[in-house]
Structure 1
């Protein structure tokens, strides 16, 4: 009889705590993705957050200067050089005032015309190269406001010349 009462009491106690254990549930959901480039040609930022998030150019009120944006890219083209161009003139705009931007890739200033930015010798084995985006200070200094803009670059494989 004692064993039966003990088993019943133990079962009752266990059943009382089961709902408490199941009530504590946490769920997390997040996006996961990957870009796997071809082995023959790629131009990828070392930090993928560079192209996934808005980038800030810091403003120094003492010197009235904007800090440049600097990043590194991994590049490769087993079939020749790498060319680059801007898709549109890069600038920041606040609805009234504009701040033009200078974009250099591997120390080559980019324009709307395609130019070679990585030579065949450097592109064939692959290399890490710098990107720099610098604000061009207007003659009348920077005007107050919230500025936004887009820098859009196009990279392509340049076939070797024989």
Structure 2
């Protein structure tokens, strides 16, 4: 593809990319996951510094490390500590039973989210796509997407 195409694609993404990604994630989650899967490498190779070493060479290296650890063991500082029990936390049944104070706005937001989740569950039971409420979509912070 030409440089102009990629430049136009870049410009479009810079202008609409984050919002477009959020819309696809909410309205078509299967496409969202499909795109992510296509961007992942198909083959992942993990190499270590010991790749290609024979078992004999690895055994020699392990033996050397054990000898070196033994040489320095005499110089290691030993700290002799007797553990003591910590005091019990100051929690009573009353403090556990009393909910923290909440603002009315926070309660309303929680109720809206709860209703939205119930709507999504009902849609899923009927085989319909789950659509978030406008309140939830408005809460999307594009900075949180990446």
TM > 0.5: no
> Greater share of helix residues, 1 or 2?
2
Q: Name which structure has the greater RCO, CA cutoff 8 Å, separation 6+.
A: 2
> Greater share of strand residues, 1 or 2?
1
Name the TM tier (shorter chain): under 0.3
* TM-score (norm: length of structure 2): 0.20
